[in-house]
């Protein structure tokens, strides 16, 4: 895979210049910091060996663990084989002992990796390295592309679902190579669960992850689900008539209004500029259109028998009916099932329960 990585930290989109006296001075400073950190770490190990019964040695070893952890963390952009730059964040536990299996977290529609802030913190405390990404068209991945395209939304007009699956596969492989990870535990919420659920049918899936947790995942189109409830087996005769109508509805003002209302609600917690809202709505509509032909139930038939599958059902989900979520558990009779009294936003509403469930405690 071709790598094109530009580190980004905090809220900055573009890093420091890579040429000139200031950049040279910055590089020297960085090297000095690394050297000092290495010497401090070596000193900590020496102190630990000499004063193994002293409380001072515990503090020194802890400082060394924190230093090593900070050096292994990553926050930046990775270019995938689709040619798209995606934001990726990799964090390691501050303690180097009892390191557990890494966990990859993937968000849903009109969301970002920050949805998992609380869950990620709890998994890190349990000893799991945590990997998070912003899907193309959302989060920092969207901001990056808006900067590159000088605010134009043309790149958001077509967002095939299959490209998201390829992007996620590439990010997992990149993380495994970069940090010497083995198969991961992967957790997807809503659309992120659908992406990982499709990826689980890939012939290489067993090399990418051994555990799959889908939190109220996208299964298939809600309009088809409701049509099937009304007409039963006869629904298949109405679907060819439904598709052209839905193509029109997906472009109308009602859908745009619903997404804007959702973003207005989010703005009460985190301010979102009007220009960013417009880009997010454009991305959401294109993403939903890209999901049109996806039916996750078809992919579950190709899952390896060695794959551990978990399903989290939100009992108060206002977006995906519980009956529809149950279709997935019926298709995966061996899956572990966790039922939560949450809305669709379970990752931020029940981080404690999810951390225990994902970690396997």
CA distance 245 to 166: 29
Contact between 240 and 265 (Cβ < 8 Å): no
> What pLDDT is stored for residue 165 in this prediction?
97
pLDDT at 258: 75
Render each residue's pLDDT in the chain as its tens digit; 361 residues: 434 433 333 333 323 333 344 334 433 444 444 444 444 544 444 444 443 444 333 333 444 444 444 458 999 999 999 999 999 999 999 876 789 999 999 999 989 999 999 999 999 999 999 999 999 999 999 999 999 998 888 898 889 999 999 999 999 999 999 999 999 999 999 999 999 999 999 999 999 999 999 999 999 776 555 555 555 665 555 555 555 555 555 555 666 777 787 787 777 777 878 888 889 988 988 888 888 778 898 899 999 999 999 999 999 998 888 988 999 999 999 999 999 999 999 999 999 999 999 999 7
* C-beta neighbour count of 183 within 10 angstroms: 17
pLDDT for position 357: 98
pLDDT digits (tens, 9 = 90+) for 272-322: 788 888 899 889 888 888 887 788 988 999 999 999 999 999 999 988 889
Q: What are phi and psi of 175, to 5 degrees?
A: -65, -40
Q: Which one, of 202, 177, 195, lies nearest residue 307 by Cα? A: 202
Q: Are 319 and 344 in contact (CB under 8 A)?
A: yes
Backbone dihedral angles phi then psi of residue 84, each to the nearest 5 degrees: -105, 145
Q: Using CA atoms, how far apart are residues 41 and 71, in angstroms rounded to an integer?
A: 12
Pick the closest to residue 358 from 186, 194, 200, 210 (CA basis). Answer: 186
Residues 321, 325, 330, 333: is their CA dihedral positive or negative? Answer: negative
Instruction: Give the contacts of 261 (CB within 8 A, at least 6 positions apart).
Output: none
* φ, ψ for residue 80, nearest 5 deg: -95, 180
Tokens representing 33 are 């910091």
Q: How far is CA 29 from CA 14, 36, 62, 119, 154, in A?
A: 20, 10, 24, 35, 41
Exposed, middle or buried, 260 (CB in 10 Å: 0-12/13-18/19+)? middle
Cα–Cα dist 147/259, whole Å? 23
What is the model's pTM?
0.77
DSSP string computed for 293-341 = T--HHHHGGG--TT-EEEEEEETT-SSS-HHHHHHHHHH-TTSEEEEES
Q: 230 and 303 in contact (C-beta within 8 Å)?
A: no
């Amino acid at each position: 895979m071709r790598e094109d990585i530009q580190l980004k930290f905090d809220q900055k989109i573009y890093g420091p210049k890579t040429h000139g006296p200031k950049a040279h001075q910055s590089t020297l400073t960085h090297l000095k910091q690394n050297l000092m950190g290495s010497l401090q770490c070596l000193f900590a190990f020496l102190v630990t060996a000499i004063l193994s019964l002293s409380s001072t040695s515990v503090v020194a070893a802890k400082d060394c663990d924190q230093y090593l952890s900070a050096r292994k963390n990553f926050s930046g952009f990775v270019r995938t084989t689709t040619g798209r730059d995606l934001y990726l964040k990799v964090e390691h536990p501050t303690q180097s002992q009892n390191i557990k299996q890494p966990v990859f977290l993937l968000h849903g529609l009109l969301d970002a990796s920050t949805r998992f802030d609380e869950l990620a913190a709890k998994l890190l405390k349990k000893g799991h390295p945590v990997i998070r990404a912003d899907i193309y068209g959302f989060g920092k991945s969207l901001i990056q592309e808006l900067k590159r395209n000088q605010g134009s939304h043309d790149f958001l007009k077509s967002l095939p679902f299959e490209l998201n699956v390829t992007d996620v596969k590439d990010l997992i492989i990149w993380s495994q190579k970069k940090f010497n990870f083995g198969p991961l535990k992967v957790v997807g919420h809503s659309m992120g669960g659908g992406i990982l659920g499709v990826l689980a049918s890939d012939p290489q899936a067993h090399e990418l992850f051994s555990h799959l947790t889908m939190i109220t995942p996208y299964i298939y189109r809600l309009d088809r689900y409701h049509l099937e409830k009304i007409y039963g087996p006869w629904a298949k005769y109405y679907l060819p008539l439904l598709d052209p109508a839905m193509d029109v509805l997906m472009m109308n003002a009602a859908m745009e209004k619903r997404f804007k209302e959702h973003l207005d609600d989010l703005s009460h917690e985190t301010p979102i500029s009007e220009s960013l809202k417009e880009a997010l709505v454009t991305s959401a509509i294109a993403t939903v259109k890209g999901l049109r032909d996806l039916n996750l139930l078809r992919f579950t038939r190709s899952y390896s028998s060695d794959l551990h599958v978990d399903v989290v059902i939100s009992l108060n989900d206002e977006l995906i009916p519980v009956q529809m979520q149950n279709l997935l558990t019926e298709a995966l009779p061996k899956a572990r099932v966790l039922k939560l009294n949450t809305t669709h936003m379970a990752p931020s509403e029940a981080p404690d329960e999810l951390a225990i469930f994902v970690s396997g405690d």
